[in-house]
Chains A and B, each alone.
Chain A
């Protein structure tokens, strides 16, 4: 049965459109055309993570009173390769999420819920926020990313996300790559932004932070703050 629950579960008839950000020096906008017979949509927005370590923001909003055939500008924030200021994502003027600036996590604005990306530290990127809450900040005390909604990057172990597991390398047992926490057999949008963090030189996944030269996981994860790392790009998801 279709519902209009503004937080979780299927929205409307279950149609979904994704707008993913690029890796580059500027965001590329496109357009969402309100389908015939549709007057409300639910939108999830992640801003891009920074190569400097901060994670992008997150917001989610149900928008009513749309006119079929009308167009809305959609901007998924690019993962900036030119500086540590990353770019915002947006669904028109309705709801946006800022890109992270250097180590500092960014926030969502205009949503029914708005969450903040985690804060990075030198060499370790932070985790992205998700529908479940703020992203995880990198942990300087243990060099192991703390557990949270998306795991932060760490030295020998990345932090666990809410669903994904952080990667690790241990001399006695070997290494394991971080996991996304996404079930390939279902389209569970609520699990986006809940992945594990990377460890030294390994990228995070599904919003997890990267470590050292590892990238931040898509969407919105913070990069490992070294020259070769970059943040996870932004993402906009529209449901109706």
Chain B
């Protein structure tokens, strides 16, 4: 199963528990309680939007190509 934990609405860790084990079997309860189960392609660095959904950070705008004179 796939879990994540976040700080200040930013995903800081993704943890894949081995086999069918749950997060409660992998960490002491004081750490396990910080994780929540996630589905899909959530990655480190994703942020929570105004609807409470996890979204990928915006892709930085590309610099326009430099035109040689």
The answer to whether residues A73 and B18 also contact, given A83-B12, A92-B26, A93-B25 and a CB cut-off of 8 A, is yes
| CB nearest to B12 among chain A residues | A85
Query: In the complex, what residues of A have CB within 8 A of residue B7's CB?
Result: 85, 101
Per-residue B-contact encoding for A78-104, CB less than 8 Å = 1, 0 else: 000011010110101111101001000
A26 part of interface (Cβ distance < 8 Å): yes
The answer to whether residues A93 and B28 also contact, given A73-B17, A101-B7 and a CB cut-off of 8 A, is yes
| CB nearest to B30 among chain A residues | A109
Query: In the complex, what residues of B have CB within 8 A of residue A228's CB?
Result: none
Q: Which of B15, B16, B18, B24 interacts with A31 by CB under 8 Å? A: B18
A16 part of interface (Cβ distance < 8 Å): no
Q: Say whether A90 contacts B14, CB under 8 Å.
A: no
Residue pairs across A and B with CB atoms within 8 Å: the count is 58
Q: Say whether A96 contacts B14, CB under 8 Å.
A: no
A27 part of interface (Cβ distance < 8 Å): yes
Q: Say whether A82 contacts B14, CB under 8 Å.
A: no
| CB nearest to A95 among chain B residues | B28
Consensus secondary structure, chain A interface = loop
Chain B interfacial residues counted at CB < 8 A: 20
Name the distance in Å between A95's Cβ and chain B's nearest Cβ: 6
Consensus secondary structure, chain B interface = mixed
Per-residue B-contact encoding for A23-35, CB less than 8 Å = 1, 0 else: 0011101110000
Query: In the complex, what residues of A have CB within 8 A of residue B45's CB?
Result: 82-83
A75 part of interface (Cβ distance < 8 Å): yes
Q: Which of B17, B31, B44 interacts with A96 by CB under 8 Å? A: B31
Name the distance in Å between B7's Cβ and chain A's nearest Cβ: 7
A110 part of interface (Cβ distance < 8 Å): yes
B37 part of interface (Cβ distance < 8 Å): no
B13 part of interface (Cβ distance < 8 Å): yes
Name the distance in Å between B6's Cβ and chain A's nearest Cβ: 10
Q: Say whether A75 contacts B26, CB under 8 Å.
A: yes
Q: Which of A87, A101, A110 interacts with B30 by CB under 8 Å? A: A110
Query: In the complex, what residues of B have CB within 8 A of residue A109's CB?
Result: 28, 30-31
Q: Say whether B15 contacts A93, CB under 8 Å.
A: no
6 closest A-B pairs by beta carbon, nearest first, are: A96-B28, A110-B28, A85-B12, A90-B27, A73-B26, A29-B18
* A to B CB contacts below 8 Å, 20 in the list: A29-B15, A29-B16, A29-B17, A29-B18, A29-B26, A31-B18, A73-B25, A73-B26, A75-B26, A83-B44, A85-B12, A87-B13, A88-B31, A90-B31, A93-B27, A96-B27, A96-B28, A96-B31, A98-B31, A109-B30
